[in-house]
């Protein structure tokens, strides 16, 4: 999602967001950054798939499965992948080259927002703040970067 925003001081800002495929490491997460790997998750998915196959294969021929049971199984199977997609972190960047004279100088603000819906809200807040104050808000997720 890319947007061009003109600040109150006349500078042109580029506001963009992009999906982060890996969760960025922060100082707050230092003690929790050691992951056990993806093997346990893949093993659990394999066990569930085998369980569903066995459940369907051993079903007697005269048993009628209601549609709501299949829908419930489908929703249960899609819950965690959908949650993963909707809660991915997004990197939000607001940057400007300044103006031709070099005053005010170029700036770059970077922050991380978690969630597909929240990133749209933060992009709108940053755009409004730049149009009003010529800078992103300090209370938001964006921080100046050297």
- pTM for the whole structure: 0.68
Give, for all 146 residues of the chain, the pLDDT tens digit: 788 999 888 889 999 999 887 766 655 555 555 556 678 778 888 998 898 888 878 888 888 888 898 899 889 888 988 888 888 899 999 999 866 666 777 889 999 999 888 999 999 999 999 999 988 988 889 999 87
CA 6 – CA 130 distance, rounded (Å): 7
Give CA 39 to chain center in angstroms: 23
| φ, ψ for residue 126, nearest 5 deg | -65, -40
Element (H, E) at 96: strand 89-96
CA–CA gap between residue 85 and residue 82 (Å, rounded)? 5
Q: Are 17 and 92 in contact (CB under 8 A)?
A: yes
């Amino acid at each position: 999602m890319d947007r061009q925003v003109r600040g109150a001081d006349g500078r042109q800002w580029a506001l963009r967001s992009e999906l982060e495929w890996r969760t960025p490491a922060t100082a707050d997460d230092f003690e929790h950054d050691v992951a056990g790997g993806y093997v346990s998750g893949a093993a659990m998915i394999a066990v569930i798939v085998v369980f569903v196959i066995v459940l369907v294969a051993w079903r007697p021929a005269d048993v009628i499965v209601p549609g709501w049971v299949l829908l419930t199984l489908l929703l249960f199977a899609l819950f965690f992948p959908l949650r993963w997609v909707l809660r991915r972190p997004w990197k939000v960047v607001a940057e400007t080259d300044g103006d031709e004279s070099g005053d005010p100088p170029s700036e770059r603000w970077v922050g991380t927002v978690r969630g597909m819906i929240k990133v749209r809200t933060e992009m709108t807040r940053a755009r409004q703040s730049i149009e009003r104050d010529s800078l992103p808000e300090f209370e938001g997720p964006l921080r100046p970067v050297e």
